[in-house]
Each structure stands twice: as structure tokens, then as C-alpha cells.
Amino acid sequence: MSGLLAWAGERYPPANAVILLVVTLVVYAHGHGGLSLGVLPAFAGLWAFYLMVRIIDEHKDYEADLAAHPDRVLQSGRVTLTELKIVGVAAFAIQGAAAAQLGIGWWLITLGWLTWASQDFYIGRWIEDRPVLYPMVHVPLSGLACLWISGDRPLTAGAFWVFALGVLMAVTVDVIRKIKPSEDRSYGSALGPGRARALLAGVLSALAGVLAAVVYTGIRA
């Protein structure tokens, strides 16, 4: 257990839960006409979903990280891939329980995109070598996850804004994480420091606008 907690602190820290809680509150209230106790399984499902995504990434990148980051908890042997796989199965079960309350349709679509993305869309090395394009084709996953949590069944204008909010949240987090030129697959290295900062400013502005649209469409619904 100590190894799993150390891994979580390093690769899936509590700050993630704070961000996901805020997102859950916004999109759930939008899709369900306000907050209720149903927001609790919605938050648990979203948190478990991204935990599972992180575990899939740990399996996918294990060999590369073994060479690049040998001191990490997983690579140093304090936790094993098998132990993470068990946690991933538990996270999947939590999502299933949440989907029973929220609806299974968007969850299955989200899992389908995750399966496709985890295989690098079957174009492998070509997309991995493009540090800006690579994360951009993965961020729709967050938009789909937000649609699942919001409960928006039809593709209404409000559902579009919820999807856009999830996408821009993912882009914002990714740009902030990888804005320094020294980071692997960084925007700073790909675009240069000035353009990377301009990208972050643009993304934050777009995020604020989309958040306002989500609130507005939710009020009018």
C-alpha cells in the first residue's frame, strides 16, 4: 500500500482530484439542471476514469520511462505494473457503477476513444514524433468524459459547450505541464518560449469564454 500511495502522490496527486471536482460540479449542474447527490457518483466516476487513463499510460510508457526516469516509484520497483493493473480494474468497476446512475452511452463512447488513443490511433511512431499534434488528438477524450458526466444525451448546443470545456481543460493542463523548453515533448521546444506563452494565453482566454457559455446555456435550459 505504501508503494501505491507513493506512486499516486507522484503520478496522480490530490491536486488532480480538486480540478476534477470543479469540472464535475460545473458539467453535472449544467446537464442535470442543478446539483444533487448524483454529483457524488459522477465525481467518483470521473476520478476513477482518469486514474485508469494514467495506469494505461504507465503500462504503455514503461520501457521508455525506465530509461528516462529510473528514479520514479514504478521504475524503481516500489510498485509493480501488476499492482497498478489491479487498481485499474477497480477503477473500471467504479466507472461502471457511476455509469449505471449517469447513463452508459457516453461512457462506452469515451472508452472506445480511449482504446483507440491508447494504440496511438494505429499510426504509432508518425504521431509520437509530433510534440504538438500528439496531445491534441488525445484531448477529445476529456470532452467525451465531460459529456458522460453531464448526462447530455442529445447533441444540443449545450452539449457542444460541455464537450469544448472538457477539451480546453485538457489542453490547458497539458500546456502548463509542458511549457518549459527542457521538458520532453514540450511546447516550449516545439514552438519557442514566446509562442508557447502566447498559446497558453489563448487557451486560457478560450477556456474562460467556453466556461461562460456553459453557464449561460445551463441557465437558459
- Asked whether the CA dihedral 211, 212, 216, 217 is positive or negative, the reply is negative
The CATH number linked to 75 is: 1.10.600.10
The grid coordinates of residue 162 equal 460541455
- The pTM score is 0.85
| pLDDT, tens only, 1-25 | 889 999 999 999 988 899 899 899 9
Range of the domain at 186: 2-220
| pLDDT, tens only, 31-63 | 888 889 999 999 999 999 999 999 999 998 899
- Round the average pLDDT of the chain to a whole number and report it: 86
Number of domains into which the chain is organized = 1
Angle of CA points 114, 42, 110, to nearest 5°? 15
| pLDDT, tens only, 95-141 | 999 999 999 999 999 999 898 888 766 666 656 666 556 666 778 89
- Phi and psi at residue 155, in whole multiples of 5°? -85, 75
